[in-house]
Amino acid sequence: MRLPIDNEETLDSLLMKLGRRHPSVVESVLDPTTGELSDRYQVLLNNRPVRRILGIHTKLKHKDEITILPLPEEGTTQETTQAA
């Protein structure tokens, strides 16, 4: 899915745009109690984990690519998750 990125936009504002189209995605990706990224998902900015940058407050630029990946549940392996 492509969403336009405004000048100086942050990941949280981009997620709010996404939430207008797909609210269940954003509800899953954000922790409802803290508003921060959920531990159940890995969010990458140009293949770098955003948790290592500034989390949801990371500033974005035109042509940045955001990837949202579910993390395997505890007790499962990556292979089991992919095979399901």
Residue 84: C-alpha distances to residues 17, 55, 80 (Å): 30, 29, 6
Q: In CATH, what is the architecture of 11-73? A: Roll (3.10)
Domain spans of the chain, in order of start:
11-73
Name the more confident of 3 and 50: 50
Q: What is the pLDDT of residues 44-82, one digit of tens each?
A: 999 999 988 888 999 999 889 999 999 887 655 544 333
**CA quadruple 78, 73, 68, 1: dihedral, nearest 10:** 90
The predicted structure's pLDDT at residue 65 = 92
Q: What is the pLDDT of residues 23-52, one digit of tens each?
A: 998 999 999 899 899 999 999 999 999 988
pTM here is 0.76
CA pair distance 24, 3, nearest whole angstrom: 17
pLDDT at 10 over 50: yes
